[in-house]
Structure 1
Amino acid sequence: MKFSATFIIGFLLANVMAEMTIIEKHRCEQYTSIFENDTTELQYSYCENIFDGRGYTSGRAGFCTGCGDALNVIIHYTAYKPNNPLAKFIPILKRLSIGNGNINQLNGYCEAWKQASNDYLFRQFQDYINDLLYYVPAMNGAKRMNITTALGKCSLYDTIIQHGGGNDNDSFDAILNRTKIQMNGPVTGKNNEPKWIEKFLEIRKNVLLMPKNNAYRSSWSKTTDRVNFLLQLVRQNNWNMDQLPIRVKTRYHDQTIYS
């Protein structure tokens, strides 16, 4: 199937703007996948209600029915393949995507998502929306804050995947801005980046423990191991994420990044 010029240009822009190497991005995505799905393999067919107030969480990046990114994937996919098992959910998802975590009218959604994930085109659109909404904004944030290391950039990417890129007080941008304020500006040099990233992760951990949105508190408070392990990599000076293998052993996970 041929892609439109708009799709191709958008996808190329996402990759041109990215600042991690292919290998670094691969390792970072493995890290994030461990905490999203307990495996280093991206889980395109994943779908469940994790009771975080965002409805169903699905796909490689945890696209949610209550926050618009799942709808974004489905709309793009449906534009190229109208007869797909998820198209029928678009009207209700448009109503839910403004922050409504209700799943009562989404019977069969997870089954439809898993069925669609057998289609390579649907997996491509998951990659595209992930880069558009999360990877590129994270790398742009790294650029604004003068972050140059693979571990620093991965810390930002993992944060936006979990916290989202919205404007609320628990979001990636809020954490990034609070770090900038507490550190009196962006990273000022090579020697300053470790302290800056450590502060960023500490602020993120506090958000997980005490989010402004109480709907997140129960689920997020159990995920601090995700940040603790990044802090461990900081203290090990594994800034290029090239001290392999990286065994990610925490309270809930035990997976290894080999390459």
Structure 2
Amino acid sequence: MKFSIASHSFAAAAAVTALALASSASAAFSGCPANLAVQIANNLQSGDVHFDYASCHLSKAGTGYEVGAVNFLTAGPDVYHIVKAYDALTNSDNEFNGVRDVLKANADNYRPSAVGLEGLCDAWSKAAANDSFNKLQNSIFTKNYFNPSQQYADRVGLQQSVNRALMLDTAIVHGSGSSVSMLGGMVRQTNKLVTQDMVATGDTSPLSITNNGVAYKVSEANWVELFLQTRAQHAENGESNVHIQSYKYAIANNIASSWEDSVKYLDGSGSAASVSCSDTYSSYATAASGFLV
């Protein structure tokens, strides 16, 4: 996962709890459909539908460590912000006393280095035994990835659950910022590809995309096809391509435009799989007090 370019400060525990999923989840994408989207993202990230709060490993891309629920990167601000919020709960006397300064330096400078963080994995694993620490991870995930992804979906006008889930997956893998290789940049590039009306026959809710001052009508299916082409241009490794193929499969093999209870997709190995809310469902709106899946 790339870091979000957004920068946030968490000075006190009250400021953190204000980010609870209940108050910030998109009304257009919540409950079971959002739960399914996160299960798929988790599986493609770590091989498990559950958040792996205690996860910690060196980044394969050489960008420091990837830790926690959705592989937050130490090369950006997310990890340090989680630790700073945890400091507010523990009076800055906790497992991260030996690595806090290095995390801050990496966050301030977007520094992709693992030097000085040798004790991070042990500290992170111990902290993840604390439910309060994991709620902080939920909050950062929601504020920096889930909410921005759904804001972009709203701007484009996406209505189908599978496509709103694709926005979330892209934000997690590439970051939710506006630079060319992040979600915002890909949305911008996709819109530039819409140069003529591309409304499918019988489509009652076409998107209106403005390109160079001209508004064009495009079906949601056609826009997403262009978006997947754009995302493929920014696929940095095989893992990213797996995500693209998984969503192509999900689009082709789920008839309902809104996910009701389950969805088919390709897992990280490329095998057909499915996720369901019937057994693991915990409303996204209450995930802050009862973790998502």
TM-score in terms of structure 2 length? 0.76
For the residues of structure 1 that align with 2:25 and 2:115, how far apart are their CA atoms? 40
Q: Does 1:42 align with 2:51?
A: yes
Residue in 2 that maps onto 1:188: 208
Q: Tell me: CA distance 1:14–1:180, structure 2 relative to 1, closer, same or farther (3 Å).
A: farther
Matched with 2:187 is: 176
Offset of 1:250 from its aligned partner?
5.3
Structure 1 residues 14 and 164: CA distance shift in structure 2, 3 A: farther
| Distance in structure 2 (CA, Å) of the matches to 1:53 and 1:187 | 39
- Asked whether 1:69 is paired with 2:78, we answer yes
Say if 1:119 and 1:254 are closer, same or farther in 2 by CA, change over 3 A.
Answer: farther
- Does structure 1 residue 92 correspond to structure 2 residue 92? no
Aligned residues between the structures: 247
Whole-angstrom CA distance in 2 between matches of 1:63 and 1:166? 15
User: Are 2:274 and 1:234 aligned?
Assistant: no
Match of 1:56? 65
Q: CA deviation at 1:104?
A: 1.8
Does the aligned pair in 2 maintain the 1:14–1:136 contact within 8 Å? Answer: no
- How far 1:176 sits from its partner (Å)? 1.1
Contact kept, 8 Å, 2:32 with 2:260, in 1: the verdict is no
Check the 8 A contact 2:85/2:136 in 1, yes or no: yes
* SS of aligned partner of 2:207: coil
**Paired residues of 1:45 and 1:117 also in contact (CA < 8 A):** yes
Distance 2:130 2:162 in 1: 33
Does the aligned pair in 2 maintain the 1:39–1:255 contact within 8 Å? no
Residue identity in the other structure for 2:105? R
Other structure's SS at 1:165 match:
coil
Instruction: Give secondary structure in 1 for the equivalent of 2:234.
Output: helix
Asked whether the 8 Å contact 1:48–1:110 carries over to 2, the reply is yes
Contact 2:95-2:126 within 8 A present in 1 as well: yes
1:16-65 residue CA offsets vs partner (Å, 9 max, x unmatched): 54531211111000000011110111111111113223210011111110
Alignment of 1:1-259 (within 5 A): 5-11=14-20, 15=24, 17-81=26-90, 82-97=92-107, 98-184=109-195, 187-188=207-208, 192-208=219-235, 217=236, 220-238=237-255, 239-242=257-260, 244=262, 246=264, 248-249=266-267, 251=269, 255-259=273-277
State the distance in 1 between where 2:126 and 2:273 align.
27
Q: Matched residues in 1 for 2:113 and 2:149: separation? A: 28
When residues 37 and 63 of structure 1 are mapped into structure 2, their CA distance, relative to the original with a 3 A threshold, is: same
Q: Which protein, 1 or 2, shows the higher relative CO under an 8 Å CA cutoff with sep ≥ 6?
A: 2
- 1 or 2, which has the higher helix percentage? 1
Indicate conservation of the 8 Å contact 2:53/2:128, yes or no. Answer: yes
Matched position secondary structure for 2:262:
coil
> How far 1:128 sits from its partner (Å)?
0.4
Q: In the superposition, relative to structure 1, how do residues 96 and 249 fare at CA in structure 2: closer, same or farther (>3 Å)?
A: closer
CA gap of 1:175–1:106, structure 2 versus 1, over 3 A, is: same
How far apart are the structure 2 equivalents of 1:60 and 1:130? 8
Partner SS, residue 93 of structure 1: helix
Deviation at 1:87, TM superposition (A): 4.0
Structure 1 contact 54–99 (Cα < 8 Å) conserved: no
Measured against aligned partners, the alpha-carbon deviations of 1:210-230 in whole angstroms (never above 9, x if no partner) come to xxxxxxx4xx23430111110
In structure 2, what is the Cα distance between the partners aligned to 1:92 and 1:57?
A: 15
- Is the alpha carbon distance of 1:176 and 1:101 closer, same or farther for their aligned partners in structure 2, counting shifts above 3 Å? same
**Letter of the 1:140 counterpart:** Q
| SS of 1:180 mapped into structure 2 | helix
Distance 1:182 1:14, change over 3 A: farther
How far has the Cα of 1:257 moved from its partner?
Answer: 0.8
- CA 1:49–1:179: 2 relative to 1, 3 Å: same
Aligned sequence identity (%):
19
Answer whether contact 1:155 1:201 (CA < 8 A) is retained: no
